[in-house]
Structure formats: structure tokens, C-alpha cells
């Protein structure tokens, strides 16, 4: 039985959308789903199940960082028989061409951390999204006329905004990966999906940049996040 969820199995759908912030899960449920109901509140990791254009879906918050994502994706895949999880998150840009509020679809997630070693004793530092899910998300973005940039991202253990020397940090990344942005959960999600032979993907909105000092209004932020949410929901 799950330790960190109190939802009944029949109240979690096979497709789950996973923002990090519990209040973003609440926002999605209230603004995009019909007949949404709260199905989990343990540790305030809010989860809602409802329908989107008649399709049953669950929105379940993951919290911050790979340990938290690892816990919730594990329990959803193992105890609730979830088939697909799409992370809906934010990121910082490591590419000069990216602008605030660009939408990114993660292809490969790279980490310097030891999540895989602790889990399986293997020194693995790259995890990939589901090709099938990514193809569907790319197709949906085109149909919605929303620019979606596909690329590789970093999954870090430390919030890079607090690092003393971020340029040296970036210089350590494998050059062949061409890492364009960073976030903190995708590697664990992709790794758990591979472990259970399930599907996972990650959509991100750029909310800050190492190279650009851009300002935004609350309306711009909401609109950009809504674009990412629409791509995810319409893909099903």
C-alpha cells in the first residue's frame, strides 16, 4: 500500500499530469477540468481527478526535487497502475536564444546526482522521455500553434540560482548533450517510468534565464503557463 497517498485506487486515473506546486495542481483543476474533486491531501500534496473534454484525468502535485518526484511517481506507477505521467513545470534557461515563457519539451534529462546509483547501484546519469508521448505532445503543440522547443535539460539537486559560480557549473556539462535549461524532477520521473515500463514526459515553461534579465507581468506568466497546460491536456 502507498505510504504518501491516501487516494482510493479508483480515484486516480491512468493518465496523470504532475506539476510540482500543489497550488498549481489546484489551479489546473479549477480552471481546466470539469467536475474536479480533491482525491489526495496527505502532506498537502494536492491531487484532483476530473475530466477534460470528457476524458478522465488526474492532476497530482509532486513537490520539489528528485526524491519527492521519485516517491510520488513510484507510488502512482506501482500502487495505482498509472500508465502515463506528464510533468508540467518551470525551468531556468541555459541557452541564449531562449526567452522568458518559451515552452520546452524535454528529450533527455541529465543529472550529476546519484538517484540511479542509490536505486539500482548503476552509474546512470541520463534518462529519456517516452518517444511516443513526446511525439504526441509535439503534434499537439503544432495543432495549437504554440511554439514548443525540444531539447535536453539538466536535473539538478541544488537550486542553481544560489550557486556562487554558475558558469563553472555549466562548463561541467557534457558538451554533446547541448543542455538548454535546468529543472529538478524530470530525471527521477523518467527513471521510474523506465523501471516500471511506463510512459513519462516533461513540459517546461522558462521562468528565468542565466543570460537575460527579462521582466514580465502576472498576465504574461499566466498565459505562458496556460499554453503549456493546454498542450499537455489536449495531447490526451
Q: Give, in order, the Cα–Cα distances in Å from 2 to each of 8, 9, 166, 232.
A: 10, 10, 38, 26
49, 57 contact by CB (below 8 A): yes
The Cα 234–Cα 144 span in angstroms is: 9
143, 234 contact by CB (below 8 A): yes
Contacts 24+ apart (CB under 8 A), 120-127: 120/195, 124/191, 126/177, 127/186, 127/187, 127/190, 127/191, 127/194
Cell numbers that stand for 93 in this block:
534557461
**Closest to 81 (Cα-Cα) out of 186, 132, 10:** 10
- Unique residue bearing C-alpha cell 536535473: 155
Q: Is 208 an annotated catalytic residue? A: yes
Sign of torsion over alpha carbons 14, 73, 147, 217 = positive
Considering the candidates 102, 164, 208, 227, report the single residue annotated as catalytic: 208
* Residue 161 burial (10 A CB sphere; 0-12, 13-18, 19+): exposed
| Residues belonging to the active site | 208
Amino acid at each position: 500500500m502507498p505510504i504518501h497517498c491516501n487516494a482510493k485506487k479508483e480515484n486516480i486515473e491512468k493518465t496523470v499530469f504532475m506539476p510540482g506546486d500543489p497550488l498549481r495542481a489546484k489551479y489546473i483543476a479549477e480552471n481546466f477540468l470539469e467536475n474536479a474533486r480533491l482525491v489526495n491531501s496527505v502532506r498537502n500534496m494536492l491531487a484532483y481527478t476530473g475530466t477534460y473534454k470528457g476524458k478522465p484525468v488526474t492532476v497530482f502535485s509532486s513537490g520539489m526535487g528528485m526524491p519527492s518526484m521519485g516517491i510520488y511517481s513510484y507510488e502512482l506507477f506501482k500502487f495505482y497502475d498509472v500508465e502515463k505521467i506528464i510533468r508540467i513545470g518551470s525551468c531556468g534557461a541555459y541557452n541564449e536564444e531562449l526567452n522568458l515563457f518559451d515552452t520546452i519539451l524535454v528529450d533527455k534529462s541529465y543529472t550529476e546526482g546519484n538517484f540511479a546509483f542509490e536505486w539500482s547501484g548503476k552509474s546512470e546519469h541520463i534518462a529519456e522521455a517516452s518517444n511516443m508521448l513526446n511525439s504526441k505532445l509535439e503534434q499537439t503543440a503544432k495543432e495549437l500553434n504554440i511554439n514548443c522547443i525540444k531539447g535536453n535539460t539538466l536535473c539538478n539537486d541544488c537550486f542553481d540560482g544560489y550557486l556562487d559560480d554558475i558558469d563553472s557549473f555549466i562548463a561541467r556539462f557534457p558538451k554533446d548533450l547541448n543542455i538548454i535549461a535546468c529543472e529538478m524532477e524530470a530525471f527521477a520521473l523518467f527513471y521510474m517510468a523506465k523501471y516500471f515500463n511506463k510512459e513519462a514526459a516533461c513540459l517546461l515553461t522558462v521562468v528565468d534565464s542565466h543570460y537575460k534579465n527579462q521582466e514580465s507581468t502576472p498576465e504574461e506568466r499566466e498565459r505562458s503557463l496556460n499554453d503549456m497546460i493546454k498542450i499537455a491536456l489536449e495531447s490526451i
